[in-house]
């Protein structure tokens, strides 16, 4: 019995309601909270999975075709000296031609050039390209044919030659069903054409007759370097293997160096010749 004895007059009396069982509400609240938690957690995990997988997919595809540009400039004097030896004297390279890998973020990644002599870089190609243009201008000046317009056309000629070398390597990979090599890798490998050209043009400035010997030597060395690199590094990532097709493509790359070097090494006012 509930009584209101002792309550002051004028105070409204509250008639207590019979207690209701709170057990169903407890189960309902628990169910609702658990359900909403599961829904939120499930959607969150699913969303994270979707976003995570999509970001990983985008990053993997970006890194597949384009790499971090800073990677190609991690060089030092020791690397530059040894890399030039490999490019200009590939016959003397006694080490392996494969690149060194290291685990990064749960996946394998190539070590930067400063730690791997076989890694491609863009420092040497860019410096060699600039040197090639300067030496070409000096060669024209010594023959009394220098002009700013001629130097501009030689600059364009060098860029076109670099593009042709890059296109040759890229098309070769595509013909094998593999275009997954990063584009900057291919550009870097193609840019190693210019150290040899600098050597040949320098020989022409110092002694004109040495130009022909140096041109032949640099063509042969670049052919050997690209064949070794394509065979050990780029072709190794091709899924299907056809030895006869690989050999023909490697021979094509090697033979293409001679007309390309001859065209780029011919320093004249008319850049088309």
Residue at 200 is within a domain: yes
| Domain total of the chain | 1
Residue 103: strand pairing partners: 108
Listed in sequence order, the residues at least 6 apart from 175 whose beta carbon sits closer than 8 Å to its beta carbon are 245, 249
Residue 9: predicted pLDDT: 47
Residue 72: predicted pLDDT: 96
Residue 239: predicted pLDDT: 53
Listed in sequence order, the residues at least 6 apart from 263 whose beta carbon sits closer than 8 Å to its beta carbon are 161, 273
CA distance 228 to 222: 10
CA distance 161 to 153: 12
Residue at 103 is within a domain: no
Residue 65: predicted pLDDT: 45
CA distance 26 to 60: 49
Residue at 101 is within a domain: no
Determine the straight-line distance between the first and last CA of the chain, rounded to whole angstroms: 116
Residue 237: predicted pLDDT: 59
Residue 264: predicted pLDDT: 94
Residue at 87 is within a domain: no
Residue 8: predicted pLDDT: 45
Q: Which domain holds residue 199?
A: 120-265
Residue at 107 is within a domain: no
Residue at 96 is within a domain: no
Residue at 273 is within a domain: no
pLDDT in tens, the chain (273 residues): 444 444 444 444 444 444 444 444 444 444 344 444 443 444 444 444 434 443 443 344 444 445 688 999 999 999 999 999 999 999 998 888 888 888 877 788 889 999 999 999 999 999 999 999 999 999 999 988 889 999 999 999 999 999 999 999 999 888 876 657 789 999 999 999 999 999 999 998 998 889 999 999 999 999 999 999 888 766 665 555 566 778 888 899 999 999 999 999 988 877 677
Q: What is the 3-state secondary structure (H, E, C) of the chain?
A: CCCCCCCCCCCCCCCCCCCCCCHHHHHHHHHHHHHHHHHHHHHHHHHHHHHHHHHHHHHHHHHHHCCCHHHHHCCCHHHHHHHHHHHHCHHHCCCCCCCCEEEECCEEEECCHHHCCCCCCCHHHHHHHHHHHHHHHHHHHHCCCCCHHHHHHHHHHHHHHHHHHHHHHHHHHHHCCCCCCCHHHHHHHHHCHHHHHHHHHHHHHHCCCHHHHHHHHHHHHHHHHHHHHHHHHHHHHCCCCCHHHHHHHHHHHHHHHHHHHHHHHCCCCCCCC
Residue at 25 is within a domain: no
Residue 241: predicted pLDDT: 57
């Amino acid at each position: 019995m509930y009584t209101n004895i002792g309550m002051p007059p004028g105070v409204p009396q509250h008639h207590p309601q019979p207690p209701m069982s709170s057990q169903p509400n407890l189960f309902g609240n628990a169910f609702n909270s658990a359900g909403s938690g599961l829904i939120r957690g499930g959607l969150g995990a699913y969303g994270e999975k979707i976003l995570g997988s999509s970001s990983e997919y985008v990053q993997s595809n970006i890194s597949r075709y384009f790499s971090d540009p800073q990677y190609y400039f991690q060089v030092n004097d020791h690397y530059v000296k040894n890399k030039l030896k490999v490019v200009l004297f590939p016959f003397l390279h006694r080490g392996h031609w494969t690149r060194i890998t290291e685990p990064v973020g749960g996946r394998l990644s190539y070590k930067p050039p400063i730690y791997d002599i076989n890694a491609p870089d863009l420092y040497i190609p860019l410096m060699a390209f600039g040197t090639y243009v300067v030496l070409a201008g000096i060669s024209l000046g010594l023959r009394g044919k220098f002009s700013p317009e001629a130097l501009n056309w030689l600059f364009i000629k060098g860029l076109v030659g670099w593009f042709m070398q890059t296109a040759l390597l890229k098309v070769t990979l595509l013909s094998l069903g593999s275009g997954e090599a990063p584009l900057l890798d291919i550009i870097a490998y193609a840019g190693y054409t210019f150290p040899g050209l600098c050597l040949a043009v320098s020989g022409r400035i110092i002694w004109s007759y040495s130009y022909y010997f140096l041109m032949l030597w640099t063509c042969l060395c670049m052919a050997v370097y690209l064949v070794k690199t394509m065979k050990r590094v780029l072709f190794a990532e091709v899924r299907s293997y056809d030895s006869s097709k690989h050999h023909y493509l490697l021979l094509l790359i090697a033979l293409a160096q001679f007309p390309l070097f001859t065209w780029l090494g011919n320093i004249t006012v008319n850049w088309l010749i």
